[in-house]
């Protein structure tokens, strides 16, 4: 009798979720990425556990940067290969966001081949208490939202606690990140980069922001190659070293795309930047593990998630949107900035962004002090961003402060340039998505 009641509650919560989703789409009152999940969990607290039987293979992606793009790539390649999947495509990755995506997308009369769910590092353990898992992809670990996570040891512990709940899970780990490669698990598969070639001018960094990481023996790691932050080919005199990747990549970076050669197979990736090349490497590696077909052809039709190297057009102007949220991620994005474009930086300090914006002083904004055009700053911490740009060597006369995001977008869209680059934090991105 109890099992029947649980099933009835589950079905009722599904119906209500779909009704609310349609109302939100019609009224545009909310993006509907988490609010439905909150309601569903009130109605059916064990909702996540109930979904397990509808999905054959469950894939999760976690890490500081690249979760949404990596899960988007995996979802696209699986879908194009003829699989039925569920994905939290909008990037809401805390427990409410995960439940939200499942409640809106799941049809109880269908069986799904895969779920591709990105999970916030601090919520992986919470999700795994109720959700089965077959594969976990870990992208990287950088300092991010220190008010939520604290130092990297805390973030790593959150993820390891989740892994410990699923001892048979297959881990796909970034070999180049010593924090990621050292996760404990009995089924570990590594991917990594062998060589990188830049085919456009990249201004050298000024501050050399890094994430320090010592060998387990306590000594500082040595590097034969360092790509960015702590990622590279590392070793210690005690014998500890970067594990040998199963999937090895040679990367050629261009201004508007990347060429990745993985184990003698070549892929053209329609994404910019080394960070996206790493995301693509992770996604392709997992898909090779799953024997997904036609990867090279299907990559050509991939569309990025909103705000992740996304291109929109407003008033015949090309707008490139690149999410920034921590120093290392921002540094890699800043390397790709076109100095001839108008730049809009939108910094919010809401809970989902992280209240602490001191990270702005660790990001290497010095690399864009060659921009000659006006730089517009907006959001709740617009003045903090303006001050950071001044200290980065940018002429204060070039800096325009417009706290209202909508007014700032209208301002840059009315400029005389054909190209605009927008760098928003997460909640600013949600607002931007509504405006555009």
Strand partners, 190: 173
Identify the DSSP state of 359. G
Report CA dihedral (357, 358, 362, 364) to the nearest 10 degrees: 50
Instruction: Tell me the CA distances in angstroms from 427 to 184, 216, 322, 349, 374, one per residue in order.
Output: 34, 37, 13, 8, 24
Count of C-beta atoms within a 10 Å radius of residue 192: 25
Contact between 284 and 260 under an 8 Å Cβ cutoff? The reply is yes
Distance CA 16, CA 13 (A): 5
CA 100 to chain CA centroid, nearest Å? 18
Strands 258-262 and 247-253: antiparallel
> What is the C-alpha R_g of the chain?
22
Q: Which of 89, 84, 82, 29 is nearest to 61 (CA)?
A: 89
Active site residue 147: no
CA dihedral sign of residues 379, 383, 387, 393: positive
Distance CA 214, CA 43 (A): 47
Token pair 């997992």 is at which residue? 286
CA 4 to chain CA centroid, nearest Å? 39
Instruction: Tell me the CA distances in angstroms from 44 to 48, 107, 242, 271, 432, one per residue in order.
Output: 9, 16, 45, 40, 33
Active-site option among 147, 268, 297, 356? 356
Count of C-beta atoms within a 10 Å radius of residue 10: 20
Contact between 175 and 245 under an 8 Å Cβ cutoff? The reply is yes
Distance CA 210, CA 143 (A): 10
Residues 6+ apart with CB under 8 A from 136: 59, 60, 61, 62, 124, 162, 163, 166, 169, 170, 171, 172
Residues marked active site are found at: 356
């Amino acid at each position: 009798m109890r099992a029947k009641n649980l099933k009835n509650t589950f079905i009722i919560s599904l119906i209500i979720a779909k009704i609310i989703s349609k109302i939100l789409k019609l009224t545009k009152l909310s993006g509907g990425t988490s609010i439905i999940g909150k309601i569903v969990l009130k109605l059916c607290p064990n909702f996540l556990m109930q979904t397990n039987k509808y999905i054959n293979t469950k894939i999760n992606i976690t890490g500081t940067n690249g979760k949404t793009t990596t899960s988007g790539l995996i979802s696209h390649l699986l879908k194009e290969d003829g699989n039925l999947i569920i994905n939290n495509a909008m990037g809401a990755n805390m427990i409410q966001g995960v439940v939200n995506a499942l409640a809106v997308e799941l049809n109880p009369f269908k069986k799904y081949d895969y779920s591709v769910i990105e999970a916030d590092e601090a919520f992986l353990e919470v999700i795994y208490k109720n959700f089965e898992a077959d594969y976990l992809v870990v992208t990287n670990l950088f300092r991010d939202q220190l008010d939520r996570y604290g130092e990297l040891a805390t973030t790593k512990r959150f993820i390891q606690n989740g892994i410990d709940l699923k001892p048979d899970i297959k881990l796909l780990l970034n070999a180049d990140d010593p924090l990621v490669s050292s996760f404990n698990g009995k089924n570990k598969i590594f991917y990594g980069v062998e060589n990188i070639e830049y085919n456009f001018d990249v201004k050298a960094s000024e501050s050399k922001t890094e994430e320090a990481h010592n060998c387990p023996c306590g000594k500082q790691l040595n590097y034969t190659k360092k790509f960015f932050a702590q990622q590279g080919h590392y070793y210690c005199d005690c014998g500890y070293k970067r594990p040998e990747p199963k999937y090895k990549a040679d990367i050629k970076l261009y201004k508007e795309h990347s060429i990745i050669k993985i184990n003698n197979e070549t892929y053209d990736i329609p994404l910019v930047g080394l960070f996206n090349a790493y995301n693509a490497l992770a996604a392709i590696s997992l898909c090779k593990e799953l024997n997904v077909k036609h990867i090279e052809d299907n990559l050509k039709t991939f569309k990025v998630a909103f705000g992740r190297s996304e291109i929109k057009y407003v008033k015949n102007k090309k707008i490139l949107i690149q999410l920034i949220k921590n120093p290392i991620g921002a540094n890699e994005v800043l390397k790709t900035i076109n100095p001839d474009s108008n730049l809009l930086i939108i910094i919010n300090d809401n809970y989902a962004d992280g209240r602490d914006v001191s990270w702005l002083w660790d990001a290497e904004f010095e690399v864009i002090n060659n921009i000659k055009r006006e730089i517009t700053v907006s959001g709740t911490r617009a003045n903090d961003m303006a001050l950071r740009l001044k200290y980065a060597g940018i002429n204060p006369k070039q800096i325009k402060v417009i706290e209202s995001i909508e007014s700032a977008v209208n301002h840059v869209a009315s400029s005389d340039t054909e190209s605009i680059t927008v760098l928003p934090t997460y909640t600013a991105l949600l607002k931007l998505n509504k405006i555009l």
